[in-house]
A and B are shown apart, each in its own frame.
Chain A
Amino acid sequence: MMSTRESEDEARRLLALAAEDVPPSVDLVAGFQARRERRRFRRRHRPHAGLLIATGAVVAAASIAIAVTLTASPAPAPAPAGLAGPAGLTRAAMITAARNYRVNFLTIPVQPESGPAETTTGSFDPARGAGAETIDGVDIARYDGRYIYLRILPAARKIYEQNFHVILRPGQIWERVTEPKLHRSPFILMTELQAGSVASVQVLSPPGLVALLKGASHVRDTGRVSGPGWTGTAYSFQLSASMPVPSSKLSTIVTTRGTVDIDQQGRIRSLIGLTTSRTPHAPGGDGLTVSSVSLTFSGFGQPIPASIPPASQVIIRPRT
């Protein structure tokens, strides 16, 4: 029979034990910062009562505007003043990219002639800089923290040899490139987002994701959202970038409008949007392409198997 003192000491030991296995995923500072950003955003954009009444009409008008822009307008609509709030989104991208994650990326061209739908999957370990990507199940890129290994697909070998003036040995199916070379402008990242295929490499990786969402504007809280095992908040957003067409006065404009779901831990769970690319006033048409893109994030904190290809399979192009 225990004395009162013994019982109390036992309770102390048990409670200490019950509180010692703090999960490594808990990051109170990051979680708090994400909440704070959201609160600040809401405070900045708290609507007037009168505006609340008009919200339905505004949303309806915005939907129409988006549809018109995608089909007829020569350029994306200018950003309305005072609605930019990308900090929360950037923060979410940073929280998401801070630990291991898996991402599933589905891109579906709206015009059938633009090609088939493709699914890219990525898994990343930001601490080691390791990761891998596959497209429709085919190994397409591997990361080892220092280099990226890009797959030279069988159909692209000839083009590769012609473009880079090299002869590939049989079995050489990977090109080793240094990572910084692939970190490019928002335009390139957005084009990668739209294109899927081999070009999607990088946009899904931690730095690519953060760089992409840094450029978001028109970020608005659109309400609560949930998925299997999580709840959170949905935000609408817009990304837009342009690039001059060489030797002309034209520019290609790429725009993504969509929704990002952020869970209560401040991590991105999904990003769904429509990406359009066009070159207004281009002779022969503006080359409009529209793709629906969908990214789903999961496996937070789970180990990422990553291996680099054997040296015999890798080509390192000499610097030109």
Chain B
Amino acid sequence: MARDDDAIDERFAAYVRTRGQHHLRVAVLLTGDWHTAEDLVQASLAKLYRAWPRLDTTTDPDAYLRRIMVNVHRSWWRTRWRRETPVGELPDPPATADVADRQAVGDQVRRALATLPRQQRAVLVLRFFEDLPEADVARLLGCSAGTVKTHTHRGLRALRTVLGPDADFVPVRRSTS
């Protein structure tokens, strides 16, 4: 029995190692900061772990974890529950000007995302970071495809308004084109 548990743990740890970072990135876009994102992923992983032995080979753990994360995030937002999280302890890694620019823009985008209504933000992240089709996003968020379309349209417009047509967009375009 203990050996079975160990095997499950090992498989789960392997999954976290390979896919954890990706879900952490999704989480930071949903939450707006890395500490909260880590909390969100850890809380979601704990739930996934409980379900892990029951998942069969046809269940995509990514989809399962994504659903958990969206639900956990929704419940946090609804209860306005936020824990105090560690801050200001990590040194900034040495950054070149280009890296620093990118980090600054990244931070600006996260803050801009955080100003959007939760549902709009979730739609943008799931549509454009996770690259999910509208129908999947609708299923995940428990709304219609039409609502997803509306949120997408309004979310993009709002993001553009918040970020503004300033120079911060320029290095992004330049560095990724």
Contact, CB under 8 Å: B42 / A32: yes
A-B interface, 8 closest residue pairs, ranked by CB to CB distance from nearest: A19-B25, A18-B109, A28-B20, A15-B129, A11-B128, A230-B86, A18-B106, A229-B87
Say whether B45 contacts A22, CB under 8 Å. no
Which of B28, B84, B105 is A226 in contact with, Cβ under 8 Å?
Answer: B84
B68 interface contact, C-beta 8 A: no
Name which residue of chain B comes closest to A23, CB basis.
Answer: B34
- Expressed in whole angstroms, the minimum distance between the Cβ of A138 and any Cβ of chain B is 26
Chain B: CB-nearest residue to A298: B89
In the complex, the answer to whether A19 meets B84 with C-beta atoms within 8 Å is no
- Residues of A within 8 Å of B86, CB to CB, are 229-230, 263-265
A14, A22, A301: which contacts B91 (Cβ < 8 A)?
A: A301
A21 on the B face (CB < 8 A): yes
Q: How many positions in chain B have a CB within 8 Å of any CB in the partner chain?
A: 52
**Residues of chain B with a CB closer than 8 A to A31's CB:** 38, 42
Q: Which of B106, B124, B127 gathers most chain A CB within 10 Å?
A: B106
Produce 1/0 per residue, A22-56, CB < 8 A to B.
11111011011101100100000000000000000
Q: Tell whether B164 is near chain A: CB-to-CB under 8 Å.
A: no
* A→B interface (CB under 8 Å): 7-8, 10-26, 28-29, 31-33, 35-36, 39, 226, 229-231, 263-265, 298-303
List 16 A-B pairs, Cβ < 8 Å: A8-B128, A10-B169, A12-B129, A15-B29, A15-B113, A18-B29, A19-B26, A19-B29, A21-B102, A32-B16, A32-B42, A35-B42, A229-B88, A230-B84, A230-B86, A263-B86
A229→B84 CA distance, assembly (Å): 6
- Asked if B144 CB lies within 8 Å of chain A CBs, one says no
Closest CB in chain A relative to B51 CB, distance in Å:
14
Contact A19 B28 (CB under 8 A): yes
Establish whether residues A18 and B28, one from each chain, have CB atoms under 8 Å apart when the complex forms. Answer: yes
Q: In the complex, which of the residues B17, B38, B45, B113 contacts A18, with contact meaning CB atoms closer than 8 Å? A: B113
Contact B34 A22 (CB under 8 A): yes
**Docked complex Cα distance between A25 and B129 (Å):** 23
Complex contact A300–B89 (CB within 8 A): yes
With contacts A12-B129, A32-B49 known, is A26 near B89, CB below 8 A?
no
Given A11-B159, A15-B113, A16-B176; 10 other pairs, CB 8 A cutoff? A8-B128, A17-B176, A19-B26, A19-B28, A22-B28, A23-B34, A28-B16, A32-B45, A263-B86, A301-B89
Chain A CB within 10 Å — which of B39, B107, B125, B129 has the most? B129
Contact at A17–B13, with CB atoms within 8 Å? no
Question: Contacts of A302 on B, CB cut-off 8 Å?
Answer: 89-91
Least CB separation from A264: chain B residue: B39
Bound CA–CA A10/B124 (angstroms): 12
Chain B, residue nearest A19 (CB): B25
Residues 121 to 138 of chain B near chain A (Cβ within 8 Å): 124-125, 127-129, 131
Chain B residue contacts of A229, Cβ below 8 A: 84-89
**In whole Å, how far is B20's beta carbon from the nearest beta carbon of chain A?**
4
Which residue from A17, A32, A231 sits with its C-beta under 8 Å from B109? A17
| CB of B46 closer than 8 Å to a CB of A | yes
Would A26 and B91 count as touching, CB distance under 8 A? no
Partner of B41, one of A12, A23, A28: A28
Rounded to whole Å, the gap between the CB of A130 and the closest CB of chain B is 16
Any A CB within 8 A of the CB of B72: no
The verdict on B24 contacting chain A, using a C-beta distance below 8 Å, is: yes
A26-B34 in contact given A229-B89, A230-B86 (Cβ < 8 Å): yes
Partner of A14, one of B21, B87, B172: B172
